[in-house]
Amino acid sequence: MNELAELVPYLGKHKPRAARAVVILIALVAPLIAILFGRTWVRVLDFALLYMMLALGLNLVVGFAGLLDLGYIAFYAVGAYTWAFLASPHFAEAFPAFAAGIGAADGIHLPFWLVLPVGAALAALAGIILGFPVLRLRGDYLAIVTLGFGEIVRIFMNNLNYPINITNGPQGINLLDSMNLFGWDLARSIKLAGFKIDSLFFYYYFFLLCVVGSILFIQRLQISRVGRAWAAMRDDELAAKAIGINIRNMKLLAFSLGATFGGVAGGLFGAFQGFVSPESFSLMESIAVLVMVVFGGMGNIAGAVVGALILTALPEILRHIALPLQQALFGQVVLDPEVLRMLLYSLAMILMMLLRPKGLIPAHARYSRPEFVAAGEARA
C-alpha cells in the first residue's frame, strides 16, 4: 500500500497519509466512473484485478525469488478447472452413473469457500511438483522447463476427455456456478430503491478485497525472514547457501506460494467467467502476466499492480480508439484487437528491457522497507 501511495504525485512525497487515502478512494470509485462509459469497462476493471492477483503471485516467484517462470498460467488453470469440476454440472455429465449413485445427479456444487481453498491447495501442490525437478536449474534453463510444464498442462487440458472425461477437452466446461457468499449470489444484479446494481460491481469489490488482502500479505512476507532469504537467494545463490539459507525449501516455498495466488485467481476467474476452456490458459497468457510484472518493475508490489492495471486496460482502450480510427482512415480494420494486444505486449517486453530494464516503478534497494532505505540514504 505504501508503495502504491508513493506513486501519487506530490502527496506521495509530502503527505503519505493523504496519498494513501487517495489510492483507496480511487480504488473504491473506479467502477462507478467506469460504468459511465459502459458495462464493458467495469468488466475490464474486474479482469484487471484478477490479473493483479496473478502478477502479484508471479512477482513472488520472478521478482522476489528470481526464478523466471514461464508456465505460471498452469496454476491459474488448476484453480479454474478445480472450480469447474467441483461446482458445475460437468461431473454428472462425465460420470452419470457414479454421480447418481452419490446423489449428485445434477453435478457437484460445492460452496465457494470450500472450492477456493481446494483449488489453491491443488495449485500449491502443482507448484511443488514443478519445483522439485527444477531445483537445480537456474536462469534461462529454468524458464524453458517451466514453459514446458505449462505446455504439458495445456496438452492435458486439451486431451483429458478420453478415456475419462475430466476436462471435457478443447470445448472446456460450461455452466460453472457463480460465486455465492453465504447465500448471496454475486452474479445476480440487485434492485435497490429503484437503482439496479450490476453484479459486475459485486465482483469488483470482492476481487478488490482479495487483491488488498494479497498485497498486505505479500508486504509482510517481503520483509519477513522468508522474503529476505529469497532476496539473498536471488542476488547470489551460493552466498545465500553459505550463510545457512535452505535453498531447496526456499525455492519450493516460492513456487508453491506463487502458485497458490495463481490457484485462487483461477478459481475466481472460473466463477466470474462461468466457463473454462484450454484457450484461456495458453502460453500467451503466461507471457502476458510476465509482461505485467516486467513492465511494472520486477520485485515490486506496486509495479505488479500498476503493470497489471495498465496492460489490461490499454489493449481495451486501444480497441476502442484504434478500431474506429482504422475504419475512418482505411475503411477497414487492418489490425484487429487481438493483434494490437500482442503487438503491445511484445513491444512492451522488448522496449522495457532495452530502455528501462528495472520497469516503470523500479524496486527499492534490497529491502523495500522505507525506513531501511531512508536510513541507508541518510548515512550515505
Partner 1 sequence: METLLQQILNGLVVGSVYALVALGYTMVYGILGLINFAHGEVLMIGALSALTTITALMGVAPELPPLMLLGAGLLVAIPTCMTVAFLMERLAYRRLRGAPRLAPLITAIGVSFLLQTVAMIVWGRNYHTFPQLISTTPIQPIEGVFISPVQISIIVVSALLMFALVTLVNRTRLGRAMRATAENHRVAALMGVDVNRIIALTFVLGAALAAVAGVMFASNYGIAHYAMGFMPGLKAFTAAVLGGIGNLAGAMLGGIVLGLVEAVGAGYIEDFTFGFLNSSYQDIFAFVILGAVLIFRPTGLLGERVSDRA
Binding residues for partner 1, rule: CB under 8 A, are 68, 70, 133-134, 136-141, 143-145, 147-149, 151-152, 155, 158-159, 162-163, 237, 284, 287, 290, 294, 334-335, 339, 342-343, 345-350, 353-354, 357
Residues 6+ apart with CB under 8 A from 30: 45, 204
- Reading phi first (left if > 0) and then psi (alpha if -120 to 50, else beta), residue 35 is in alpha
Give CA torsion, residues 247, 252, 254, 260, to 10 deg.
Answer: -170
CB 199 to partner 1: min, Å = 33
Q: What is the per-residue burial (b if ≥16 Cβ within 10 Å, else e) of 205-219?
A: ebbbebbeebbeebb
Which residue(s) pair with 181 in the sheet?
184
Sign of the CA dihedral with 17 first, then 22, 25, and 31 last: negative
Amino acid, res. 63: G
CB 353 to partner 1: min, Å = 4
Q: Which is nearer to partner 1, 138 or 220 (CB)?
A: 138
Q: Which is nearer to partner 1, 1 or 349 (CB)?
A: 349
Phi, psi of 103 (to 5 degrees): 75, 30
Q: Which is nearer to partner 1, 149 or 207 (CB)?
A: 149
Are the C-beta atoms of 170 and 13 separated by less than 8 Å?
no
CB 304 to partner 1: min, Å = 15
CB 345 to partner 1: min, Å = 7
Integer angstrom CA distances of residue 65 from 123, 226, 255 = 18, 10, 9
Sign of the CA dihedral with 348 first, then 350, 356, and 362 last: positive
Integer angstrom CA distances of residue 277 from 77, 154, 196 = 9, 10, 31
Q: Which is nearer to partner 1, 26 or 343 (CB)?
A: 343
Q: Which is nearer to partner 1, 65 or 210 (CB)?
A: 65
For cell 449470489, the residue is: 185
Q: Which is nearer to partner 1, 328 or 354 (CB)?
A: 354
Q: Which is nearer to partner 1, 141 or 184 (CB)?
A: 141
CB 65 to partner 1: min, Å = 12
CB 297 to partner 1: min, Å = 13
Phi, psi of 110 (to 5 degrees): -75, 150
Q: CB neighbours (10 Å) of residue 222?
A: 24
Q: Which is nearer to partner 1, 158 or 180 (CB)?
A: 158
Q: Which is nearer to partner 1, 181 or 242 (CB)?
A: 242
CB 339 to partner 1: min, Å = 6
CB 349 to partner 1: min, Å = 3
CB 289 to partner 1: min, Å = 12
